[in-house]
Amino acid sequence: MKQFCVFMAVFLFIGVIFPINAQDLIVLKDGNIIEAKVMEISSSEIRYKRFTHLDGPMVVIQASSVFSIKYENGMVEVINTTARTGQGGTSGPQSNLPPLLQSAINQLPAIPIAGRNLKFQLNSDTWTAQVSGKDFLSGTLTFIDTDEGYILTLKQTHTYFRGRQISTPGANINLEYKEGPPSSLRLTSRSVNSTGNSESSDYIIFSDAGIDSNVDGATPKLKESTTANFDIGRENIEEREQEVLTMNVKLANGSGWRVGQFSMSNPSIVQKLKEGSGVRFNVLGDGKKWVLQIATEDIKDYCYYEAIISTKKNKVVSIDIPYSKLKQPSGWGKKMAFNQNSINYLNLQYHTSIGASGSSAIKIFDFEIY
């Protein structure tokens, strides 16, 4: 049963379940994958029928645009050993990672993505992601130069189960590499389009998020010494200017339980939460713990679905919280199954025991609902 759950978790991470070894996969140089039934290959053309429409017309593409073909029996035929490079130097998507960049990325530590710490290994046109030293995902890649380093678009083609490679095309993973010192690799919403430009970010704009703060749980005589303030502005963190949400909390002794709380309730944010599967962001903190809470219309007695945010003093930490990791606190309120269709707001709150005193300040940026 445990092995079955692990297997299903792999597919939930991918997002969709594809038939295994049921079609040919044409891997293009730009990283896209075509599910097909290959009919004929020549030195200049490849003729195929779309796997979803085998009774349909023949489709012809230039062989020069194809990197490889994986046939339904598992055999892989490499059509071109190098992928396309941009015109005029480094203006467009490229492959064939420079050896020094490839080596630098392979030596960087694992980064959290969808609740797992993935260690990336890059090799020219392909990549592999490992979890605890074991292969987990793999695919093809393209990249572009930026002023600070590179943006890499990793196209997923396979997952691994019990050491077996399984054909499971999935969503892109976009990574941003910054040249050092110190060098860094992080998940980003930016990807590479056909012109070589970086597409717009999916990060939440805090000034549009409908953020509010409260100290409703504080007793009246302690409200003056119990504060929860926030500020939204642009700051330079990790050598990059970005929009930052700064939250400061000061709790008087015995202030209560529902204090130091910051809520996002803008209808557009709520709709994104309903359509999403998790949230991720970067946090620069003081080493204290905070908690992310998601409220739904179904919950009673403030029994929110939540996950702890652990910070490191004066260090940026990447946080990734899929909905599957949210839990209702034990010993409090009525427990109900999480229904994301009834989400009505998201909270960020200083994590402390009831009646405790203290203060904390954190900065949050690159907040994304995925």
* Tens of each residue's pLDDT in the chain, 370 residues: 444 444 444 444 443 333 344 688 888 776 678 889 999 988 888 999 988 888 888 999 988 888 778 788 767 676 775 443 333 334 455 556 777 788 888 888 888 776 678 899 988 788 999 988 889 888 888 888 777 788 888 888 888 877 788 887 766 788 888 877 778 888 775 555 544 444 445 678 887 777 887 665 444 555 556 778 888 888 888 777 778 999 888 876 654 454 567 888 888 788 889 988 899 999 999 999 999 999 998 887 778 899 999 999 999 999 999 999 999 988 777 888 999 999 988 989 887 665 566 788 999 998 988 8
For residues 279 and 246, give the distance between their C-alpha atoms in angstroms, rounded to a whole number: 18
- Which two structure tokens, joined as six digits, stand for 143? 């990249």
State the pLDDT at residue 31: 66
- The residues near 236 (Cβ < 8 Å, ≥ 6 apart) are none
Question: DSSP label at 351?
Answer: -
State the pLDDT at residue 260: 61
Cβ atoms of 141 and 153 within 8 Å: the answer is yes
Residue with token string 């202030």: 255
Cβ atoms of 148 and 183 within 8 Å: the answer is no
Q: Is 223 helix (H, G, I), strand (E, B) or coil?
A: helix
For residues 80 and 93, give the distance between their C-alpha atoms in angstroms, rounded to a whole number: 17
State the pLDDT at residue 342: 92
Q: Is 53 helix (H, G, I), strand (E, B) or coil?
A: helix
Give burial (CB, 10 Å; 0-12/13-18/19+) of 27: buried
For residues 186 and 211, give the distance between their C-alpha atoms in angstroms, rounded to a whole number: 26
State the pLDDT at residue 362: 92
Instruction: Please state the separation of Cα 290 from the chain's center in Å.
Output: 20
Residue 263 CB neighbour total at 10 angstroms? 19
For residues 305 and 292, give the distance between their C-alpha atoms in angstroms, rounded to a whole number: 8
Q: For residue 108, report the phi and psi dihedrals to the nearest 5 degrees.
A: -75, 155
Looking at the chain, how many residues does it have?
Answer: 370
Cβ atoms of 311 and 332 within 8 Å: the answer is no
- Which two structure tokens, joined as six digits, stand for 88? 């005029």
Please state whether 124 falls in left (phi above 0), alpha (psi between -120 and 50) or beta.
left
For residues 230 and 245, give the distance between their C-alpha atoms in angstroms, rounded to a whole number: 7
Domains in the chain and their CATH numbers?
21-78 (2.30.30.100), 206-369 (2.60.120)
Helix, strand, coil shares of the chain, percent, nearest 5, are: 15, 45, 40
Q: Tell me the C-alpha to C-alpha distance, in Å, between residue 32 and each of 126, 156, 192, 194.
A: 13, 9, 12, 12
Q: What is the DSSP string of 284-309?
A: EB-S-EEEEEEEETT--TT--EEEEE
Cβ atoms of 167 and 18 within 8 Å: the answer is yes
State the pLDDT at residue 271: 87
Question: DSSP label at 39?
Answer: E
Helix (H) or strand (E) holding 155: strand 149-161
| Strands 173-178 vs 184-187: parallel, antiparallel or unpaired | antiparallel
Amino acid in the structure at residue 105: I
Three-state SS annotation for 71-134: CCCCCEEECCCCCCCCCCCCCCCECCCCHHHHHHHHHCCCEEECCEEEEEEEECCEEEEEECCE
